[in-house]
Homo-oligomer: A and B are copies of this chain.
C-alpha cells in the first residue's frame, strides 16, 4: 500500500545517466541522443516509473488538469456536458476533474479555492457565484463559463432568446393567452435569462406572462411549484428545468389535473427522463455534449494565450458562444383549455 514510487533519480542510476538526462528523455526528446533515450526509456519501463505531475507543476506551472465545477451533479442535464468535456480534455491529454457545488455558492467557492493551485483552469457550469466573485476569480485564473454569461469572460450557453421565442410561438399557435413561469433558484443566471426572454417576448406574441417561485429545481419541489401555479389558474406552465417540470406533472396528476388537456407543461434541458415520464415532456433542449467540448476548447485556448492577454480586447471575437436550441415537442403540451380549470 502506497509504496515509494520510483523517481527520475532511480531511473537515472539504473540507466547510468544524470537525472537531467532522464527528464529530457521524456520532455525534450531532441535534446538527447537516440541510444541514450532508449536506455532511459527502457530503465523507466522496468522500474515502472511514472512522472510526478506536481513536482513538475512546481517548476513549470502547468498541471495538465482542468476542473469542471458543476452546480448540481445530480442533474442529468450535465451528463452530456461532462461527457463532451471529458472527451475533448482527453484528446488534449488533460485530466478533467469534476467537483460538485451542490447548488451552494459557499461550497462552490470552497471547492474552487481548494483546487486553485492544482489545476490550470476552471470550467464553471451554471455557477451560482455572484458576478464580482467571478470577475475576481477570472482576473487571477483561467475561467470559462457554461450556462452563464458575464462580460468579458468566455462562455458557452444555449441561445435563450431564440429558444424562448420558439416556446412563445408554440404557445401562441396553440391558442394560449397567458402562461406561468415556475422560477428556479435566485442564483441561476440561466433562470433569470429564461424569464427575461419569455417576459420580453410575451407581448408581441399576444401572451401575458406571470411568474411564481423561486423553487429549487428538483422533482421533489415540483409539488410546491404546481400548487403555486394552479392558484393562478393558468393554461400553460413553463418550468425552470425538466426536473421541476416532471415534479409538477406528478403533482398535477395527483390533483386530477390533466396534462395537456387542462394545462400544458414545458421544461428546459431535454434530460433523458423527459421522454420516460407519462405524459412525455415537451422541452427545450440543446447540444450539451458539444457545449462541453467547446468549453474545454475555449479554456485550452486561454491557456495557450499569453498571460494578461484578455480575449475580446482587440476587437477579435469575444468568445461568447451561443448554441442553437430546439423545442422538442412531446405529449405534455397541447391546445389551450378554456376557460382555465378552477383549482
Is B99 touching A1 in the complex (CB atoms < 8 A)? Answer: no
Known: A1-B307, A307-B2. A76 touches B73 (CB 8 A): no
Q: Which of A35-43, A165-173, A271-279 contacts B (4 or more CB under 8 A)?
A: A271-279
Q: Which of A14-22, A114-122, A261-269, A321-329 contacts B (4 or more CB under 8 A)?
A: A114-122
On chain B, the residues within 8 Å of A342 by CB distance are: none
* Min C-beta distance of A119 to chain B, whole Å: 10
Is B73 touching A1 in the complex (CB atoms < 8 A)? Answer: no
Q: A1-B309, A54-B54 are in contact. List 18 more A-B contacts (CB 8 A).
A: A1-B139, A1-B141, A1-B308, A1-B310, A2-B121, A2-B142, A2-B307, A3-B140, A5-B140, A54-B55, A54-B58, A54-B118, A74-B82, A83-B100, A86-B102, A219-B276, A273-B273, A276-B277
A1, A100, A272 — most chain B CB neighbours (10 Å)? A1
Is A1 touching B302 in the complex (CB atoms < 8 A)? Answer: yes
Residue of B nearest to A118 (CB): B53
A50 interfacial by beta-carbon distance below 8 Å: yes
A215 interfacial by beta-carbon distance below 8 Å: no
A257 interfacial by beta-carbon distance below 8 Å: no
A96 interfacial by beta-carbon distance below 8 Å: yes
Is A97 touching B98 in the complex (CB atoms < 8 A)? Answer: yes
Contact of A74 among B51, B58, B83 (CB under 8 A): B83
CA distance A13 to B242 in the complex (A): 54
Residue of B nearest to A99 (CB): B97
A-B contact pairs, 21 of them (CB 8 A): A1-B139, A2-B61, A3-B140, A3-B307, A5-B117, A50-B113, A52-B117, A53-B117, A54-B57, A54-B117, A55-B58, A58-B58, A74-B79, A74-B83, A96-B99, A97-B97, A97-B98, A98-B98, A273-B273, A273-B276, A276-B276
On chain B, the residues within 8 Å of A305 by CB distance are: 1
Is B100 touching A99 in the complex (CB atoms < 8 A)? Answer: no
Q: Top 9 A-B pairs ranked by shortest CB distance?
A: A54-B54, A278-B278, A97-B97, A74-B79, A98-B98, A52-B117, A95-B114, A3-B140, A273-B273
A229 interfacial by beta-carbon distance below 8 Å: no
CA distance A53 to B116 in the complex (A): 9
On chain B, the residues within 8 Å of A54 by CB distance are: 54-55, 57-58, 117-118
Residues of A within 8 A of B (CB): 1-3, 5, 50-55, 57-58, 61, 65, 73-74, 76, 79-80, 82-83, 86, 95-100, 102, 111, 113-118, 120-121, 138-142, 219, 246, 250, 272-273, 276-278, 302, 305, 307-310
Is A82 touching B76 in the complex (CB atoms < 8 A)? Answer: no
Residue of B nearest to A94 (CB): B114
CA distance A246 to B80 in the complex (A): 20
On chain B, the residues within 8 Å of A138 by CB distance are: 1
* Min C-beta distance of A98 to chain B, whole Å: 4
Is B272 touching A141 in the complex (CB atoms < 8 A)? Answer: no
Known: A74-B79, A219-B272, A277-B277. A2 touches B141 (CB 8 A): yes
